[in-house]
Amino acid sequence: MPTPINVQLAPQLKAKPDQTKLGFGQHFTDHMFVMDYTEGTGWHDPRIVPYGKIELDPAAMVLHYGQAVFEGLKAFRTEDGRLLLFRPDQNMARLNRSNDRLSIPPIDGDFIIHAIKELVNLEKDWVPAEPGTSLYIRPYIFATEACLGVRASYRYLFMVILSPVGAYYAEGIKPVRINVENDYVRAVRGGTGNAKTAGNYAASIKAQEEAKEEGYAQVLWLDGVEKKYIEEVGSMNVFFKVNGEVVTPELNGSILQGVTRASVIEVLKSWDLTVTERRISIEELYEASLNGTLEEAFGTGTAAVISPVGELNWGDKKILINNGQIGEIAQKLYNTITGIQNGSVADTFGWTVQVETVKA
């Protein structure tokens, strides 16, 4: 474990935003975590400092070649005032897989969880209490060495910032309309699809914007080779219930391995439901919708947890799912997983990690 975390407190604290109008990622807390990497020294100088601007050399490699990875997890306030993290070890394991793919040096996951707990504990008054709200935690790493040569950077910055976020479903869960993307692809096998890296998002924005213009909430991504098999929906993993069987695309190298995806699979198994990870073609879903066996569709991710899909638009074909209503399994999964996260449902899986609150 690196040296203790140096803490420099903000001289002045910000006013807290209205908990009923938080939105997503618009407000940032008073402090942030920072740590440096230098080739030869390794990760060093972990510190909590006042939230604020950072200085970057104009030649910083991230600005040119995009060597950057990130994570996203949340801290929840329980009814009795405890603060819980949801499976942070999974986020750290994934961060190191992303690091490996982007040739960024690995981090000590246990140390970062310790740092996140310290930071969240310091900012505990920022964790909102309104139903459905949480404190979003964004760890990220990027290349800072000033150099225009194309190679792995010798210097990096690791940061964690915190943002109180509102209830994703302020007006109840409503299934969304999704456009099946036929032109652009998000990722290909052998590429960076299974890493949480900035470039994947940069590549997805244009399709997302075009879908929005056409009145769709998100894009459904097909595989990059044959444009035949389902990969993900927006920045979520995706599940379908077809003829009583729950199916989700198998991890094939271009799909991001979601923590929510893994949790959904475990919860479904604990209910004795069959979950199959396999290739699913859009054609198969269309056929299933025609013969009445496409029962449910939903996306999974940290932000929404479960996001039901009410309609898929595939070229000139419309696939209506469960009459545009949320499915039974999607609703039950949403209640169970959000319940475990906020402490209102017993955590029989051992997924939550309590943030110590400092004793007076």
Ligand X SMILES: *Cc1c(COP(=O)(O)O)cnc(C)c1O
List residues near ligand X by CB under 6 A. 72, 196, 232, 235-237, 256, 258-261, 300-302
Rounded to a whole number of angstroms, the minimum distance from the CB of residue 90 to ligand X is 7
Contact (Cβ atoms closer than 8 angstroms) between residue 289 and residue 320: yes
Contacts of 12 (CB under 8 A, 6+ apart): none
Rounded to a whole number of angstroms, the minimum distance from the CB of residue 266 to ligand X is 13
Contact (Cβ atoms closer than 8 angstroms) between residue 139 and residue 112: yes
Beta carbon nearer to ligand X, 115 or 256: 256
Instruction: Give the β-pairing of 237-242 and 352-355.
Output: unpaired
Q: How far apart are CA 342 and CA 337, in angstroms?
A: 9
Beta carbon nearer to ligand X, 100 or 356: 100
Beta carbon nearer to ligand X, 17 or 72: 72
Contact (Cβ atoms closer than 8 angstroms) between residue 99 and residue 140: no
Rounded to a whole number of angstroms, the minimum distance from the CB of residue 265 to ligand X is 11
Contacts of 190 (CB under 8 A, 6+ apart): 253
Rounded to a whole number of angstroms, the minimum distance from the CB of residue 60 to ligand X is 23
Beta carbon nearer to ligand X, 60 or 303: 303
Contact (Cβ atoms closer than 8 angstroms) between residue 293 and residue 261: no
Among 133, 70, 57, smallest CA distance to 104 is for 70
Beta carbon nearer to ligand X, 285 or 303: 303
Rounded to a whole number of angstroms, the minimum distance from the CB of residue 70 to ligand X is 9
Beta carbon nearer to ligand X, 46 or 164: 164
313-318's contacts with Cβ under 8 Å and 24+ in sequence apart are 313/177, 313/178, 313/179, 313/180, 313/214, 313/216, 314/180, 314/182, 314/282, 314/286, 315/180, 315/182, 317/286
Rounded to a whole number of angstroms, the minimum distance from the CB of residue 204 to ligand X is 8
26: left (phi over 0), alpha (psi -120 to 50) or beta: alpha
Beta carbon nearer to ligand X, 260 or 341: 260
Rounded to a whole number of angstroms, the minimum distance from the CB of residue 87 to ligand X is 9
Q: How far apart are CA 122 and CA 261, in angstroms?
A: 30
